[in-house]
Chains A and B, each alone.
Chain A
Amino acid sequence: MFRFHKLDKTTSTRCAVCKYFRRRCPPDCIFAPYFPNDNPHKFTCVHRFYGASNISKMLEELPVYLRAELVESLYYEAKCRVQDPVYGCVGIISSLHQQIQVAQTQLAKTQAEISVLNANFVVAQPPSSLDESLVQQNGVDHGLDDPFNTWFY
């Protein structure tokens, strides 16, 4: 005769947090919606830097619809800290500030170049009255096409 062992429902549906702490996962477990048991790394990573009680407090302080975003941002910051134990995601912020500075400098330089080119373009244009006089004098077209029709797009 076989003995059938009933599966403990709470054991099979424990969230990653309760599994980590080897405790029963209650129906209203605050962690359960955000730390499913199929991704134990998420909690271990966040727990390493913030601690379960701090995470719980942070979750409790927020309305339910914002908690998922909170957990994901904590996970992101924790991963950054794993990659860079000294600076964490602050290293990324610093790098972005540098990129912005470089891009702003390059943009200013490029816009100055455009201004110079445009200024030279204006200088290169002969005045319209002189155009007429030249054509009229020689009767020869010196190629003085209207630049605004030919060059601009």
Chain B
Amino acid sequence: MGSGSSPCASCKLLRRRCAKDCIFAPYFPPDDPHKFAIVHKVFGASNVSKMLQELPVHQRADAVSSLVYEANARMRDPVYGCVGAISYLQNQVSQLQMQLAVAQAEILCNQMQPEPEVPAIHQSMVDYDTKSLLLAASNTGDFGDQMTQLLSYTSSNNNVMQDPLKKESFWT
């Protein structure tokens, strides 16, 4: 915003003239004063200004959005902020991966069982797809490897920063 138009939310809060090239103006419109207030409370206006100056213009909107998100998280949880959310989500991912590994192991176990000897009269009632699955599974011969892979699924399938997120060694 520049002279003649309403000052941006940051200049309004800081009670200063909103210059034409105000770095905050594109991201903190005057109709949402809470957005800047919360970011200013947690990070401080000068720090936010420095952060924005270090980024190319096309990335600043996203940066502001993430700062607003972090500031809101910090207001909701003054001790842990976003880190509390990360810890909670990480636990959810681990639990889901464990459930998935158990379910996949159950399928493998079902596939490992010998095909029941069904009398001729009942063979047409057996689903063709299930039969072909059982036959294919019995021909592979590497169930042991598959089981091992599935059981180690939870520990290997996670590409998030691991060390800081483990509850026990959270602050390493």
> How long is the Cα–Cα vector from A76 to B73 in the complex, in angstroms?
14
**Interface size class for chain A?**
35 or more
Decide: B106 and A114 in contact? CB cutoff 8 A.
Answer: yes
Chain A CB within 10 Å, residue with most, of B63, B79, B97: B79
Decide: B63 and A110 in contact? CB cutoff 8 A.
Answer: no
Given contacts A51-B44, A70-B79, A96-B93, are A87 and B66 in contact (CB under 8 A)?
yes
| A134 at the B interface (CB under 8 A) | yes
Nearest Cβ on chain B to A148's Cβ, whole angstroms: 12
Q: Report chain A residues within 8 Å CB of B103.
A: 107, 110-111, 114
* Chain B, interface SS category: helix
Contact of A90 among B51, B82, B104, B113 (CB under 8 A): B82
> How long is the Cα–Cα vector from A73 to B87 in the complex, in angstroms?
11
Q: Report chain B residues within 8 Å CB of A96.
A: 86, 89-90, 92-93, 160
Which residues 71-89 of A sit at the B interface, judged by CB distance below 8 A? 72-74, 76-77, 79-81, 85-89
Q: Report chain B residues within 8 Å CB of A118.
A: 110
Q: How many residues of B contact A (CB 8 A)?
A: 59
Nearest Cβ on chain B to A61's Cβ, whole angstroms: 7
Decide: A85 and B126 in contact? CB cutoff 8 A.
Answer: no
Given contacts A54-B42, A107-B100, are A100 and B89 in contact (CB under 8 A)?
yes
Instruction: Closest B residue to A73 by CB, please name it.
Output: B83
Instruction: Closest B residue to A99 by CB, please name it.
Output: B93
| B26 at the A interface (CB under 8 A) | no
**Interchain pairs with CB closer than 8 A, number:** 151
Decide: A104 and B96 in contact? CB cutoff 8 A.
Answer: yes
Give the interface segment out of A12-20, A21-29, A139-147: A139-147
> How long is the Cα–Cα vector from A86 to B65 in the complex, in angstroms?
9
| B144 at the A interface (CB under 8 A) | no
Q: What 0/1 pattern do residues 108 to 137 of A give for CB contact below 8 A with B?
A: 001101101110110111100010001000
Decide: A54 and B44 in contact? CB cutoff 8 A.
Answer: yes
Instruction: Closest A residue to B44 by CB, please name it.
Output: A51
Decide: B116 and A125 in contact? CB cutoff 8 A.
Answer: yes
Chain A CB within 10 Å, residue with most, of B78, B116, B171: B116
Q: Report chain A residues within 8 Å CB of B79.
A: 62, 66, 69-70, 73
Please list 27 pairs of residues, one from A and one from B, whose beta carbons are closer than 8 Å in the complex, sorted by A's number.
Answer: A49-B51, A50-B44, A54-B44, A70-B79, A72-B170, A73-B80, A80-B161, A87-B62, A88-B66, A88-B70, A89-B70, A90-B70, A93-B85, A96-B86, A96-B89, A96-B92, A96-B93, A97-B89, A99-B93, A114-B107, A117-B107, A117-B130, A117-B133, A124-B125, A126-B119, A144-B119, A153-B109
**Cβ-closest 8 pairs across A and B:** A103-B96, A143-B117, A96-B89, A90-B66, A110-B103, A120-B130, A73-B83, A72-B171
Beyond the given A50-B42, A77-B82, A88-B82, could you list 7 further A-B residue pairs with CB under 8 A, ordered by the A residue number? Answer: A51-B46, A80-B161, A86-B62, A86-B66, A87-B63, A92-B161, A93-B82
